Structure 1
């Protein structure tokens, strides 16, 4: 790069050329595999078509502001679905572009970033899809006709609030099944990266490494699934592809399930049983909401979910917590009701 720069100043590089340098000299070593994969999706689909032909010194704040504004208009989705891009996606594109231009400043390709002074796009608060207690009960009834592996996965998602990656990264050595009790050590998460395969890493934050109690009613099914898994492992013999790991949720050869398999199975299951549609991740929200409505302490719920701090729990579930608090206050009404204190 710098030899070429002798003939052509760095700021004369096109955005597309600089992205190549950014990817090889920074992103591959500094970003996680999954993060880089997601960055490259937005770079190739959005940023290169918009800025790729421009020299680095030609990219101006107004150009970026106009680009972000246009992303908010109808018809900018690229998945064949009608409607607008989500505000979260637009904010993510802003984040990727800011990262690249910041590196250009550090490497003195440009003096200042054209992103300076441009506000980060706001993310509209999307109402969470959750099941109430009745709908959760309907879900459990529907699961009774499903294969044991899927039945256990969904029940764990509902009752523990584990993230999808945490569930898929779960190994039998992480589950303790005692007499009438059970716990899960949440210490790793699984992602799948194109051209690399699955990756196991620590969960999102230090607080995400946690121990979560399992409802006693789930213990028998977990024991049965473990027996089935052990039997499948023995029968597979040399076809078993995993010697180091023994995943709770796996294919017949021991390989962990692809996250895409969960994303495909879940909506199909919802449709087959005519249940209200929520995302798989919304089972995590449902778990927290059911606990809140049952009077669960916010700190305990925060620890079960693996939030970095309790303020995260309050921000995400603030409305539900306030509603539960208002219901709790109603219990004091009887204290002020004279009819409740009349002597017989």
Structure 2
């Protein structure tokens, strides 16, 4: 008990919460009081579609960062979820478990220790646009793609690119 106290992992007395019971309680009773409707829509999707099916059976006080990372890799990425979706699920889960810590149901938030999924964002590049539009002409050093409207694929085919 002293080790648990020192590690801040002592939980409240009574039956242990599962991830499913905590998330259900949080999404129905706690989160609606603190956030706007649009945020609640995102929270509900993350909780009901991803978190409860993937991690709901775990006991809240025994959830480890490794469980969460395996969930991201095996459940989210393997099922074809976009990186942004996985990151939104991560943020929602972190918020929900932060509240569990504040209320004494959990000693530490394992989501904060888990590696967040990469968002996979890519920057727009004129060269990539040109290739995707079918243009075979390279961009010259004097090209100014942001100075005017983007050329259409037919413009590139007719040689009216930025080069």
Who is 1:22 aligned against?
26
CA distance in structure 1 between the partners assigned to 2:46 and 2:29 by the alignment = 19
The structure where strand makes up a greater share of residues is: 1
CA distance in structure 1 between the partners assigned to 2:60 and 2:40 by the alignment = 22
TM-aligned CA deviation for residue 39 of structure 1: 1.2
TM-aligned CA deviation for residue 128 of structure 1: 5.2
Who is 1:58 aligned against?
62
CA distance in structure 2 between the partners assigned to 1:124 and 1:54 by the alignment = 28
Structure label with greater radius of gyration: 1
Structure 1 gaps, min length 5: 77-83, 131-275, 277-288, 295-326, 328-344
Who is 2:90 aligned against?
94
Structure 2 gaps, min length 5: 1-11, 127-132, 134-143, 149-161
TM-score, length of structure 2 as denominator length:
0.64
CA distance in structure 1 between the partners assigned to 2:81 and 2:27 by the alignment = 26
Q: 2:147 aligns with which of 293, 309, 326?
A: 293
1:259-285 deviations in Å (ceiling 9; x for gaps): xxxxxxxxxxxxxxxxx9xxxxxxxxx
TM-score, length of structure 1 as denominator length:
0.32
Who is 1:125 aligned against?
121
Matches within 5 A, 1:76-95: 76=79, 84-95=80-91
Q: Looking at both structures, which has the greater relative contact order when contacts are Cα pairs under 8 Å and sequence separation is at least 6?
A: 2
Q: Kindly indicate whether residue 77 of structure 2 is the aligned counterpart of residue 72 of structure 1.
A: yes
Pairwise CA RMSD: 2.7
Matches within 5 A, 1:1-344: 8-9=14-15, 12-70=16-74, 71-73=76-78, 76=79, 84-126=80-122, 292-294=146-148
CA distance in structure 2 between the partners assigned to 1:125 and 1:69 by the alignment = 18
CA distance in structure 2 between the partners assigned to 1:103 and 1:51 by the alignment = 17
TM-aligned CA deviation for residue 13 of structure 1: 1.1
1:79-122 deviations in Å (ceiling 9; x for gaps): xxxxx322111111111111111111111101011123223222
